[in-house]
C-alpha cells in the first residue's frame, strides 16, 4: 500500500503483525537510498526505528494507515543516529503513552537526556510482552556501530529487527525477498563501510545466528525470509574479510 503518492512511501506486512514502512530517498548527488521503520501491531504496539526527523510527516501518515499513532506504546531503536531515532520526540508528542525503548547503555549515555520522556531501558536478554508477541533485547555493542547498539528479536515468529545489518542501497522497493541480500549489502558496504570492526563482532553475530531468526527486518533495503542463522554466519565471514 502506497501511503504517499509523491514520495512513494509504502507499507507492507512482512511477517504476522509486522509492517514495514519504506521511504525511498534521492540525495542531491543522485544517490538512491531508503529508510525502513517497522510497526509491530499488538495490544501494546511497538515501532522499531523512527526514521529521520525530516521524514516524520511521512511516517505519521504511514502509521495512521494501520493504527492511530496515539496507540503506540513503545518507540524502540538500535542506537542513537538520526535515521534510528530522529523523530523520537515528535512520536512521544503524538503518542502520549509511548516510551522510548533502548539499551541500558543507550539510556545512560544519551536517551535519558535526549528524550522528552524517560526511556524503558532493556538489559541484555530482557524480554517485553506486548500482547500476543514478545520481544527480546540483545545488546550488540559496536555491531555494526555504536557503543549503545542493540537489536530486538520477536520471539514467536522469530523476526529479528536487525537494524543496519544487511543494509542495501537503492529504493528498497521489494518489501520482502527470499533471494540473496548479502551480495547487495556487501556491495553497499564496500565503498562506505559502516561496521566498527570491533573485537567482539564475530561473537555478537554468532549469538544472533544462534537465535535462528526466520525473518530479518532490515532497516535499509528489502526484508528477508529464510534461514537467518546461515546468512548471519556468512555475514560474519564477509565482515572478517
Angle at 147 between CA 143 and CA 151, to 5 degrees: 50
Binders in 63-102 for Fe ion, by CB under 5 A: 81, 83
CA 158 from centre of chain:
14
44 vs 55, beta carbon nearer Fe ion:
55
Binding of Fe ion by 219 (CB under 5 A):
yes
Report yes or no: 181 and 228 within 8 Å, Cβ to Cβ: no
Among 164, 204, 222, 236, binds Fe ion (CB under 5 A): 164
* Nearest-approach distance from CB 36 to Fe ion, in angstroms: 9
Query: CB pairs under 8 A, 24+ apart, for 104-109?
Result: 104/139, 105/139, 105/141, 105/147, 105/148, 106/79, 106/80, 106/148, 106/150, 109/80, 109/147, 109/148
72 vs 143, beta carbon nearer Fe ion:
143
Binding-site size for Fe ion (CB under 5 A) equals 4
120 vs 220, beta carbon nearer Fe ion:
220
44 vs 52, beta carbon nearer Fe ion:
52
Give the integer Cα–Cα distance in Å for 98 and 88. Answer: 10
14 vs 149, beta carbon nearer Fe ion:
149
Cα of first residue to Cα of last residue in the chain, in angstroms, is 39
Binding of Fe ion by 154 (CB under 5 A):
no
Q: Which stretch binds Fe ion (CB under 5 A): 93-101, 108-116, 121-129, 215-223?
A: 215-223
**N residues, the chain:** 241
Report yes or no: 55 and 96 within 8 Å, Cβ to Cβ: no
Query: Mask: binding to Fe ion, 39-68, rule CB under 5 A, as x and -?
Result: ------------------------------
Q: Binding residues for Fe ion, per CB under 5 A?
A: 81, 83, 164, 219
Amino acid at each position: 500500500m502506497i501511503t504517499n503518492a509523491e514520495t512513494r512511501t509504502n507499507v507492507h506486512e512482512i511477517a504476522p503483525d509486522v509492517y514495514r514502512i519504506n521511504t525511498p530517498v534521492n540525495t542531491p548527488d543522485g544517490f538512491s537510498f531508503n529508510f525502513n521503520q517497522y510497526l509491530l501491531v499488538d495490544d501494546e504496539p511497538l515501532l522499531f526505528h523512527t526514521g529521520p526527523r525530516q521524514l516524520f510527516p511521512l511516517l505519521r501518515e504511514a502509521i495512521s494507515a494501520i493504527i492511530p499513532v496515539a496507540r503506540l506504546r513503545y518507540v524502540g531503536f538500535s542506537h542513537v543516529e538520526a535515521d534510528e531515532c530522529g523523530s523520537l520526540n515528535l512520536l512521544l508528542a503524538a503518542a502520549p503513552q509511548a516510551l522510548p525503548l533502548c539499551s541500558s547503555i543507550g539510556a545512560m549515555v544519551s536517551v535519558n537526556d535526549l528524550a522528552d520522556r524517560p526511556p524503558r531501558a532493556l538489559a541484555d536478554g530482557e524480554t517485553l510482552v506486548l500482547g500476543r508477541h514478545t520481544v527480546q533485547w540483545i545488546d550488540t555493542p559496536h555491531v555494526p556501530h555504536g557503543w549503545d547498539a542493540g537489536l530486538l528479536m520477536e520471539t514467536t515468529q522469530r523476526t529479528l529487527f536487525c537494524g543496519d545489518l544487511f543494509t542495501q542501497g537503492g529504493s528498497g522497493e521489494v518489501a520482502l525477498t527470499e533471494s540473496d541480500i548479502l551480495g547487495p549489502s556487501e556491495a553497499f558496504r564496500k565503498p562506505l563501510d559502516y561496521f566498527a570492526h570491533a573485537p567482539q563482532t564475530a561473537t555478537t553475530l554468532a549469538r544472533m545466528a544462534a537465535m535462528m531468526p526466520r525473518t530479518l527486518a532490515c532497516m535499509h533495503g528489502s526484508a528477508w525470509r529464510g534461514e537467518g542463522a546461515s546468512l548471519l554466519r556468512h555475514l560474519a565471514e564477509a565482515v572478517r574479510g
